[in-house]
Amino acid sequence: MVKHPWSILGAALLATAFAGGEGVAQTADRAQDEIRAALLKWTADFNARNARDICNLFAPDLRYDFQGSPERGYQDVCALLQRSLNDPSKRYSYSAAIKEIIVSGDLAVVRLTWTLTVKTDGAAGEITSEEPGIDVFRKQPDGSWKIIRYVAYGSAK
């Protein structure tokens, strides 16, 4: 005969809660890995001047704020990126320093600093800017993670 049926039920509930917690942690870890991979792919596409795929990181409902510039949407950002990458007189290079990825369900926030280097034909030296910012991702119906919002602030060196 069981003397404390509630303690057995309590133990079962705790075991279920901890098992669920591991599943949530694994899901968050997987999402972080997918987001990191998406950012690295975008960086590689940008640096390879792959204008065709450069907008794949962004959701159609993208909103973008960059210090001193008007707020922009998906079409504006994609047109600017494609125009820049198709300009043969300039060479661009981006790198990302990811500081943190926080995942909550189908949303994720990434704190990072992008470093952009631009070299213009005929100009001495290059211009480097650091752009600390926050990218907000949403998991899309196809399972991919895309940026829906980002805020960045730059400083030229």
**For the segment 11-55, what is each residue's pLDDT rounded down to a tens digit?**
443 444 444 445 556 688 999 999 999 999 999 999 999 999 999
What is the domain class of 5-156 according to CATH?
A: alpha beta
What's the predicted TM-score (pTM) here?
0.80
Q: What is the pLDDT of residue 17?
A: 43
Q: Write the CA distances from 68 to 6, 34, 114, 119, 154, integer angstroms.
A: 62, 31, 17, 22, 9
Summarize pLDDT for 59-78 with one digit per residue, the tens: 999 999 988 888 999 999 99
Q: What is the pLDDT of residue 43?
A: 97
Q: What is the pLDDT of residue 156?
A: 52
> The tokens of 41 are what?
């792919």
Q: Side chain identity at 103, as an amino acid letter?
A: V
Summarize pLDDT for 116-142 with one digit per residue, the tens: 999 999 888 899 999 999 999 999 999
Q: Where are the domains of the chain?
A: 5-156
Instruction: Yes or no: say if 115 and 132 are a contact pair by the CB < 8 Å rule.
Output: no
Instruction: Dump strand ranges (E) for the chain.
Output: 58-66, 72-73, 90-104, 107-120, 127-139, 145-152, 155-156
Summarize pLDDT for 76-114 with one digit per residue, the tens: 999 999 999 999 999 999 999 999 999 999 999 999 999
